[in-house]
Amino acid sequence: MNPRPTRAFLEYSHARGLLLDPARVRHPRDKPHVESGVRYARERWWKGGHFADLADSREQAERWCRDVAGLRVHGTTRRLPRVVFEDEERQHLRVYDGVPYDVPLWREVTVHPDHHVSVQYALYSAPSTTCPPGTKLEARCDQTLVRLYRRGELVKVHPRQPKGGRSTDPDDYPAERTAYAMRAPDRLVHQAVKLGPSIGRFAERLLDAPFPWSKLRQGQKLLRLAERYTAERLDAACPRALGFELVDVRRLERILVLALEHEGQPSLPPEQRLQPLPAGRFARPGTAFDHRYSAALTSATPTVEVPT
């Protein structure tokens, strides 16, 4: 049995005041009488029924339980279930407060080298003193909070973040590595400047924050964009993104995907245009690729300009 759904169900039973009586493992005869009600509902109500939507099925189920199943003579007790409930069982139940139960989600997560864990596509910091990188944690998230547990002990609480969000507590970073963490953004900016001056400026703007090492993930993705789309295209896209104050690597990549880096700019001169190569590859005249595939190009082959 998966422990995470079981743990969530235990929380629900405590919140609602239920008494659990689980069947023994590998003893299938422990619960046949309990499950016989499932077959009764399936064959007498669900089978052959017509339901417009979820609300309609719930209304029909309530009416069937009250007026049909509840007023039948039970095969074992020979009593009416609805009458037994009203006379003996109702007084022992809690009054429903009308608030739907907030079902929690449990996940096993691992602390990343940047002292964060990923839960439902958002990042949350973990204390380095008790949870160094590589530590296995259990994350419990509901509508408002994300709680991190280590071996059953609560180690961190964060407000729930949307997808792509981030919650970082500066105190979670190790004090002895703060100087190194501050140097890491400088090294990333230095690598970006080597790819192109505009890429370097974008990296500087990206890491211009009180805790720049918290942006290292985006910085690494910025460098990977140069490998995927070439440094030339990335260097042309960075000024366009900065011009609109889009200091976000995901939006920068969107500019490259849509080939908008040269929109509004004059066309490149012929000697700087990209030449077509087999299998959709491109190279500028005079490069190694140009010499390698020059035999495959003919004067009739049209040149392909960078999209404008």
Q: Give yes or no for a contact between 116 and 211, defined as CB atoms under 8 angstroms apart.
A: no
> Which uninterrupted H or E stretch holds 274?
none
Q: Give yes or no for a contact between 149 and 169, defined as CB atoms under 8 angstroms apart.
A: no
| CA gap 249, 234 in Å, rounded | 11
Structure tokens at 223: 């460098």
Say if strands 116-119 and 275-276 run parallel, antiparallel, or are unpaired: unpaired
Instruction: Read off the DSSP letter of residue 155.
Output: E
pLDDT digits (tens, 9 = 90+) for 252-279: 999 999 888 887 654 445 554 444 444 4
Q: What is the pLDDT of residue 114?
A: 81
Which of 102, 124, 111, 120 lies closest to 150 in space, CA to CA? 111
Q: What is the pLDDT of residue 176?
A: 61
Q: What is the pLDDT of residue 297?
A: 35
Amino acid of residue 123: L
Residue bearing tokens 């009586």: 21
Helix (H, G, I), strand (E, B) or coil at 186: helix
Q: What is the pLDDT of residue 222?
A: 92
| CA gap 68, 82 in Å, rounded | 10
Inter-CA distances, 73 with 31, 33, 79, 280, Å = 22, 16, 5, 76
| CA gap 163, 122 in Å, rounded | 5
Helix (H, G, I), strand (E, B) or coil at 223: helix
| CA gap 204, 188 in Å, rounded | 9
Q: What is the pLDDT of residue 140?
A: 96
> Which residues, 6+ apart, have CB-to-CB distance to 135 below 8 Å?
110, 111, 126, 150
Q: What is the pLDDT of residue 300?
A: 36
pLDDT digits (tens, 9 = 90+) for 232-250: 999 999 998 988 888 889 8
Q: At what angle do helices 197-206 and 178-195 cross, to 10 degrees?
A: 150
Instruction: Read off the DSSP letter of residue 304.
Output: B
Secondary structure percentages of the chain, helix, strand, coil, to 5: 50, 15, 40
Q: Give yes or no for a contact between 154 and 138, defined as CB atoms under 8 angstroms apart.
A: no
Divide the 308 residues of the chain into consecutive groups of 10 and give the mean pLDDT of each group.
Answer: 67 87 83 82 91 94 94 92 94 88 93 90 92 94 96 95 87 68 73 92 84 75 92 92 88 90 60 45 42 37 45
Q: Give yes or no for a contact between 143 and 160, defined as CB atoms under 8 angstroms apart.
A: yes
Query: What DSSP string describes 63-114?
Result: HHHHHTGGGSPPTTT-S-HHHHIIIIIGGGSPPP-SPPP---EEEEEE--TT
Which of 165, 248, 164, 166 lies closest to 202 in space, CA to CA? 248
> Mean pLDDT in the chain?
81
pLDDT digits (tens, 9 = 90+) for 22-58: 888 888 888 777 788 888 999 999 998 999 999 999 9
Which of 155, 18, 24 lies closest to 94 in space, CA to CA? 18
